[in-house]
Amino acid sequence: MHVLGISGSPHLEGNTAFAVRYALRILEEAGAQTEFISLAGRNIHPCAGCHQHRSSGKCVYDDDMTPIYEAMLHCDGMILGSPVYMGMVTGQMKVMMDRTVLFRSQGALRLSGKIGAGIACGGFRNGGQELTLQAMHTFFLQQDMLVISDGPAYSHSGAAIVGKASEDALGLKTVENLARRMAKALGL
Protein backbone atom coordinates (compact mmCIF):
# COMPACT_ATOMS: atom_id res chain seq x y z
CA MET A 1 0.00 0.00 0.00
CA HIS A 2 1.28 3.43 -0.93
CA VAL A 3 0.47 6.58 1.02
CA LEU A 4 1.12 10.06 -0.34
CA GLY A 5 1.45 12.98 2.09
CA ILE A 6 1.28 16.54 0.81
CA SER A 7 2.08 19.68 2.79
CA GLY A 8 0.38 22.83 1.52
CA SER A 9 2.65 25.17 3.46
CA PRO A 10 5.07 27.65 1.90
CA HIS A 11 7.56 26.42 4.51
CA LEU A 12 9.58 23.37 3.54
CA GLU A 13 10.19 22.37 7.15
CA GLY A 14 7.34 24.03 9.06
CA ASN A 15 4.64 22.65 11.32
CA THR A 16 2.63 21.10 8.51
CA ALA A 17 5.61 19.24 7.06
CA PHE A 18 6.41 17.98 10.56
CA ALA A 19 2.85 16.74 11.13
CA VAL A 20 2.48 15.09 7.70
CA ARG A 21 5.85 13.36 8.06
CA TYR A 22 4.84 12.23 11.57
CA ALA A 23 1.77 10.51 10.09
CA LEU A 24 3.81 8.96 7.27
CA ARG A 25 6.34 7.51 9.73
CA ILE A 26 3.53 5.71 11.58
CA LEU A 27 2.17 4.37 8.31
CA GLU A 28 5.65 3.14 7.35
CA GLU A 29 5.86 1.28 10.66
CA ALA A 30 2.52 -0.30 9.75
CA GLY A 31 4.00 -1.51 6.45
CA ALA A 32 3.05 1.23 3.97
CA GLN A 33 5.35 2.75 1.38
CA THR A 34 5.19 6.51 1.66
CA GLU A 35 6.01 9.60 -0.34
CA PHE A 36 6.15 13.16 0.96
CA ILE A 37 5.59 16.18 -1.26
CA SER A 38 5.82 19.79 -0.14
CA LEU A 39 4.16 22.51 -2.18
CA ALA A 40 6.77 24.98 -0.89
CA GLY A 41 8.46 26.70 -3.79
CA ARG A 42 6.53 24.75 -6.39
CA ASN A 43 5.41 26.47 -9.53
CA ILE A 44 1.75 25.48 -9.81
CA HIS A 45 -0.37 27.71 -12.00
CA PRO A 46 -3.93 28.46 -10.84
CA CYS A 47 -6.61 26.70 -12.89
CA ALA A 48 -7.54 28.74 -15.97
CA GLY A 49 -11.02 27.23 -16.13
CA CYS A 50 -10.51 26.46 -19.82
CA HIS A 51 -12.05 22.95 -19.59
CA GLN A 52 -9.56 21.64 -22.14
CA HIS A 53 -9.14 18.54 -19.96
CA ARG A 54 -12.67 17.49 -20.87
CA SER A 55 -11.61 16.62 -24.40
CA SER A 56 -7.90 15.87 -23.94
CA GLY A 57 -7.82 14.38 -20.41
CA LYS A 58 -4.79 16.64 -19.81
CA CYS A 59 -4.13 20.05 -18.31
CA VAL A 60 -2.94 22.86 -20.56
CA TYR A 61 -0.21 23.68 -18.03
CA ASP A 62 2.91 21.53 -17.81
CA ASP A 63 4.30 22.72 -14.49
CA ASP A 64 5.16 21.35 -11.04
CA MET A 65 1.70 19.80 -10.84
CA THR A 66 2.74 17.11 -13.33
CA PRO A 67 4.65 14.87 -10.84
CA ILE A 68 1.90 15.45 -8.25
CA TYR A 69 -0.70 14.10 -10.69
CA GLU A 70 1.40 10.95 -11.07
CA ALA A 71 1.86 10.55 -7.32
CA MET A 72 -1.87 10.97 -6.72
CA LEU A 73 -2.77 8.35 -9.31
CA HIS A 74 -0.20 5.96 -7.86
CA CYS A 75 -1.25 6.19 -4.18
CA ASP A 76 -3.82 4.16 -2.27
CA GLY A 77 -4.11 6.70 0.54
CA MET A 78 -3.60 10.45 0.53
CA ILE A 79 -2.92 12.73 3.50
CA LEU A 80 -3.34 16.44 2.85
CA GLY A 81 -1.89 18.84 5.41
CA SER A 82 -2.51 22.56 5.34
CA PRO A 83 -1.64 25.46 7.58
CA VAL A 84 -4.68 27.54 8.49
CA TYR A 85 -4.55 30.84 6.59
CA MET A 86 -7.31 33.31 7.40
CA GLY A 87 -9.40 30.44 8.75
CA MET A 88 -8.98 28.33 5.63
CA VAL A 89 -6.57 26.25 3.55
CA THR A 90 -3.59 28.04 2.04
CA GLY A 91 -3.79 29.36 -1.50
CA GLN A 92 -1.18 26.76 -2.45
CA MET A 93 -3.42 23.92 -1.24
CA LYS A 94 -6.50 25.37 -2.95
CA VAL A 95 -4.72 25.82 -6.28
CA MET A 96 -3.44 22.25 -6.10
CA MET A 97 -6.90 20.89 -5.33
CA ASP A 98 -8.43 22.91 -8.19
CA ARG A 99 -5.87 21.58 -10.64
CA THR A 100 -7.00 17.99 -9.95
CA VAL A 101 -10.26 18.69 -11.77
CA LEU A 102 -8.82 16.79 -14.73
CA PHE A 103 -9.20 13.56 -12.76
CA ARG A 104 -12.92 14.12 -13.25
CA SER A 105 -13.06 13.96 -17.02
CA GLN A 106 -14.12 11.75 -19.90
CA GLY A 107 -16.64 9.91 -17.75
CA ALA A 108 -14.07 8.77 -15.20
CA LEU A 109 -13.30 9.59 -11.58
CA ARG A 110 -9.67 8.60 -11.50
CA LEU A 111 -9.10 8.97 -7.73
CA SER A 112 -12.25 7.00 -6.92
CA GLY A 113 -12.05 4.75 -3.85
CA LYS A 114 -8.71 6.02 -2.52
CA ILE A 115 -8.59 6.86 1.19
CA GLY A 116 -8.23 10.55 2.12
CA ALA A 117 -7.32 12.18 5.42
CA GLY A 118 -6.63 15.76 6.48
CA ILE A 119 -4.32 17.54 8.92
CA ALA A 120 -4.78 21.24 9.74
CA CYS A 121 -2.10 23.29 11.53
CA GLY A 122 -3.11 26.62 13.02
CA GLY A 123 -1.40 29.13 15.25
CA PHE A 124 -4.35 29.35 17.59
CA ARG A 125 -7.04 27.16 19.14
CA ASN A 126 -10.27 27.57 17.13
CA GLY A 127 -8.19 29.35 14.50
CA GLY A 128 -10.04 27.67 11.66
CA GLN A 129 -8.66 24.12 11.81
CA GLU A 130 -12.13 22.59 11.36
CA LEU A 131 -13.03 24.62 8.27
CA THR A 132 -9.59 23.91 6.85
CA LEU A 133 -10.16 20.19 7.37
CA GLN A 134 -13.63 20.42 5.83
CA ALA A 135 -12.19 22.09 2.71
CA MET A 136 -9.81 19.18 2.21
CA HIS A 137 -12.52 16.64 3.05
CA THR A 138 -14.78 18.25 0.44
CA PHE A 139 -11.98 17.85 -2.12
CA PHE A 140 -11.75 14.14 -1.26
CA LEU A 141 -15.53 13.73 -1.59
CA GLN A 142 -15.62 15.53 -4.93
CA GLN A 143 -12.97 13.10 -6.15
CA ASP A 144 -15.13 10.16 -4.98
CA MET A 145 -12.55 9.25 -2.36
CA LEU A 146 -13.33 7.78 1.07
CA VAL A 147 -12.69 10.23 3.91
CA ILE A 148 -11.53 9.19 7.35
CA SER A 149 -11.29 11.25 10.54
CA ASP A 150 -8.69 10.97 13.29
CA GLY A 151 -10.37 7.76 14.46
CA PRO A 152 -10.54 6.27 17.93
CA ALA A 153 -10.28 7.18 20.72
CA TYR A 154 -11.28 10.81 20.02
CA SER A 155 -12.62 10.73 16.43
CA HIS A 156 -13.46 14.34 15.67
CA SER A 157 -12.98 16.28 12.45
CA GLY A 158 -9.52 15.02 11.48
CA ALA A 159 -6.09 15.78 12.91
CA ALA A 160 -5.56 19.30 14.22
CA ILE A 161 -2.41 21.02 15.48
CA VAL A 162 -2.29 24.19 17.56
CA GLY A 163 0.97 26.14 17.62
CA LYS A 164 4.34 24.40 17.28
CA ALA A 165 3.59 20.91 15.98
CA SER A 166 6.49 19.19 17.73
CA GLU A 167 5.29 20.52 21.11
CA ASP A 168 1.54 19.88 20.70
CA ALA A 169 1.22 16.46 22.32
CA LEU A 170 -2.56 16.25 21.98
CA GLY A 171 -2.44 17.44 18.38
CA LEU A 172 0.21 14.85 17.55
CA LYS A 173 -1.97 12.20 19.17
CA THR A 174 -4.73 13.10 16.68
CA VAL A 175 -2.14 12.82 13.87
CA GLU A 176 -1.10 9.40 15.17
CA ASN A 177 -4.73 8.27 15.43
CA LEU A 178 -5.36 9.52 11.89
CA ALA A 179 -2.40 7.50 10.58
CA ARG A 180 -3.50 4.38 12.46
CA ARG A 181 -7.04 4.80 11.13
CA MET A 182 -5.69 5.07 7.60
CA ALA A 183 -3.52 1.99 8.09
CA LYS A 184 -6.62 0.09 9.17
CA ALA A 185 -8.66 1.39 6.23
CA LEU A 186 -5.88 0.23 3.89
CA GLY A 187 -5.89 -3.22 5.46
CA LEU A 188 -2.41 -2.89 7.00
Which chain residues interact with ligand FMN by CB under 6 A? 9, 11, 14-16, 83-87, 121-124, 127-128
Specify the residue, 19 or 27, whose C-beta has the smaller distance to ligand FMN.
Answer: 19
Minimum separation from the CB atom of position 124 to ligand FMN (A): 4
Return the sign of the alpha-carbon dihedral for residues 10, 144, 27, 183: positive
Q: How many CB atoms lie within 10 A of CB 187?
A: 8
Q: How far apart are CA 105 and CA 2, in angstroms?
A: 24
Minimum separation from the CB atom of position 19 to ligand FMN (A): 8
Angle among Cα 31, 32, 35 to the nearest 5 degrees reads 145
Minimum separation from the CB atom of position 120 to ligand FMN (A): 8
Can you point out the beta strands (E) in the chain? 2-7, 33-38, 77-83, 104-105, 108-109, 115-122, 146-147, 159-162
Specify the residue, 59 or 178, whose C-beta has the smaller distance to ligand FMN.
Answer: 178
Minimum separation from the CB atom of position 121 to ligand FMN (A): 4
- Of residues 106, 9, 93, the one with CA closest to residue 54: 106
Tell me the residue nearest to ligand FMN as measured from the CB.
Answer: 127
Specify the residue, 121 or 135, whose C-beta has the smaller distance to ligand FMN.
Answer: 121
Specify the residue, 79 or 121, whose C-beta has the smaller distance to ligand FMN.
Answer: 121
